[in-house]
Structure 1
Amino acid sequence: MSSNSATVPELPGVLAFGLRPLPLAPLAAALDLVVKSAARRHPAMFARLGDQAGKRFLIEPTDLPFVVVMTPRADDPEILVVRRGEEPEADARIAGPLGALVGLIHGAYDGDALFFSRDLTVEGDMSAVVALRNALDDAEIDLVAEAASVLGPLASPAERVGRLAASVAEKITGIAFARPRSGS
């Protein structure tokens, strides 16, 4: 895992503004599919959460107009996407720029370094947050591969297209939307 010696990229304001009027239901449905697929593909990650799997996590990308609420139960993970200000109660809140949150998933940033540099804010049940972080670290999740996997037989071509799209998005935003591949 690398440190975050460079500034954590934030989504350009014009892109975030453009997302405001969009309906959240398609995003919520897509995230729900990806998380349920990840539960099937990485059962050890969800098992590692133990008693913390029933906790509700509020994931708040501070540069987006919405938040994600996740309950990572192995048998039935739940994802909600709600507008900022409409958040339900949660056991823990993790807030920071989208680049920091995605970078944590991909192992690009060290969670402790993000916390101490104040790029990441964590509130609530710290045991649950630490369990989630450790489970994600061990699983070495790649969001592009996870998203493509829901397409079954089309997963391989979808992953290639997704990696190209992630590369273009990274050039535009500075945010690494895919885990770096070994040897690249």
Structure 2
Amino acid sequence: MLLPRPLSRAIDHVPLGVVQRVVDAVFHRALQQHPDLFDRLGSQAEKSFRFTPADLDLSFVIHPARRTIRAYRKDKAPPVSSAVSGPMLMLLALLEGRIDGDAVFFSRSLTVTGDMEAMLALRNGLDDCGFDLPADLSGLAGPFAQPFRRVGELVRQRALVGIV
């Protein structure tokens, strides 16, 4: 399931600096909630990973050893050790462990390139984390945390209908 076109166009027009600030806040929160996120990577933590939503003009590069993430426009994204591309909602569902990565890879809904050993190590680490994006990110909403979480859960539930 792709993001609705009006939403993806709107996101694509957000200045990259604003996208980066949001991504930094979300990534920092994820590391607070899951401090062991990259522990299982071992030597693979020195590698770089790119996640490219097929329905957005964005790419995100993560350097686990440095605990950094950087947003790029697709055509400006640097070379990395390993890369994944697929619809944004599918990438988020994979992050949360709500869909089978092998199944979407073999159905060709997801493209993985580069160092497969590194990507497998990252996937195994993510599987152990137990991400729940609405719960994990609701703290960013301050006093609106509970309504934010409920809305996030409803959006996720509706989005997963087209994926699983």
* 8 Å contact kept, 1:49–1:132: yes
- Give 1:26 deviation, angstroms: 2.2
> Taking structure 1 as reference, are residues 139 and 167 closer, same or farther at Cα in structure 2, changes over 3 Å only?
closer
Pairing 1:78–2:65 present: no
- Give 1:47 deviation, angstroms: 1.1
Structure 1 stretches of 5 or more lacking a match? 1-8, 177-184
What letter is aligned with 2:118?
Answer: A
Of the three residues 4, 24, 35, the one matched with 1:12 is: 4
Of the three residues 90, 94, 97, the one matched with 1:100 is: 90
Alignment deviations for residues 121-163 of structure 1 (CA, whole Å, 9 cap, x no partner): 0000111110111111111111223323456xx3xx4432222
Task: Determine the structure 1 residue equivalent to 2:159.
Answer: 175
> Taking structure 1 as reference, are residues 143 and 103 closer, same or farther at Cα in structure 2, changes over 3 Å only?
same
Number of corresponding residues: 160
Instruction: Give the 5 Å matches for 1:124-163.
Output: 124-150=114-140, 154=142, 157-163=143-149
- Give 1:66 deviation, angstroms: 0.9
The TM-score normalised by the length of structure 1 is 0.78
* 8 Å contact kept, 1:45–1:135: yes
* 8 Å contact kept, 1:45–1:139: yes
- Give 1:59 deviation, angstroms: 0.2
Pairing 1:27–2:19 present: yes
Of the three residues 31, 38, 59, the one matched with 2:30 is: 38
* 8 Å contact kept, 1:11–1:99: yes
**Identical-pair percentage:** 36
2:150 counterpart SS class: helix
- Give 1:89 deviation, angstroms: 1.2
The TM-score normalised by the length of structure 2 is 0.86
Alignment deviations for residues 59-117 of structure 1 (CA, whole Å, 9 cap, x no partner): 000011211111122xx411111112111111111000012101101121100001000
Pairing 1:62–2:54 present: yes
What letter is aligned with 1:26?
Answer: V
In 2: Cα distance, 1:116 partner to 1:42 partner: 29
* 8 Å contact kept, 1:144–1:159: no
Structure (1/2) with the larger helix percentage:
2
Structure 2 stretches of 5 or more lacking a match? none
In 2: Cα distance, 1:137 partner to 1:168 partner: 22
In 2: Cα distance, 1:119 partner to 1:63 partner: 12
In 1: Cα distance, 2:97 partner to 2:51 partner: 17
